A and B are shown apart, each in its own frame.
Chain A
Amino acid sequence: EIVLTQSPGTLSLSPGERATLSCRASQSVSNRYLTWYQQTPGQAPRLLIFGASSRATGIPDRFSGSGSGTDFTLTISRLEPEDFAVYYCQLYGSSPSLPITFGQGTRLEIK
């Protein structure tokens, strides 16, 4: 089973700064299967990025995804107050019969 490791565990930044969040897979994976979510306290996760780099509907363009192989990145170009949350990367299998894996999350907190 492929393991996703996110780093850092916690990232402390100020509004207006740039955030770079990492997601590393234990073996090479297809970009098609890598997804990012945002979760604020008490809320369900919100889809941000699918296919490693495609923004979901309604997601501001300050959010971008990149990467390939084993290393993927979520970048938030200029942090807004509402961006401080927990971010998860997620890996699909090639079909619904295969397990879905989530990273352990990165907490983005206000410095």
Chain B
Amino acid sequence: EVQLVESGGGLVLPGGSLRLSCAGSEFTLSNYWMTWVRQAPGKGLEWVANIKQDGSEKYYVDSVKGRFTISRDNAKNSLYLQMNSLRAEDTAVYYCANLGMANIGIDYYHYGMDVWGQGTTVTVS
């Protein structure tokens, strides 16, 4: 079964750090742009960051720029999110997913985030 499995969440003090991991099973991460999406308790979905297949391009939502770093290790079929200077407002379930965008020449084909992990909970308190 194709799946992504997140780990690394937990309870952390404000100002602390945490590193989330996302491992692919029957899913080869190196073929895809990948993304992190989070969901605060009782709230909607919020995009966090994207990373290109080879890790050469990374993009972030403004609220985490300078604090979070997305990375990947294709040899380990894994995606990461290093979170520093954590704030209470970063409290959320964090999901990794296939971004759902594929290069077609200079353009992109958008096909939706079709593979998601089960989520890992980060509590900053």
Contacts and interface: CB of A to CB of B under 8 A. Distances in A.
Contacts of A90: 45, 113
Nearest to B99: A96
Given A50-B111, A105-B44, A99 B61 contact: yes
Query: Chain B interface: which size bin?
Result: 20 to 34
Interface residues of A, number: 30
A69 B112 CA distance: 19
B114 A96 contact: no
Contact of A44 (B47, B99, B101, B116): B116
Contacts of B116: 44-46
A35 B45 contact: no
A103 interface: yes
B114 A56 contact: yes
Interface of A: 32-33, 35, 37, 39, 43-47, 49-51, 56-57, 88, 90, 92, 94-105
7 contacts: A35-B110, A44-B95, A44-B118, A51-B110, A57-B114, A92-B100, A105-B44
Sorted nearest first, the 3 A-B pairs with minimum C-beta distance are A50-B112, A100-B47, A44-B116
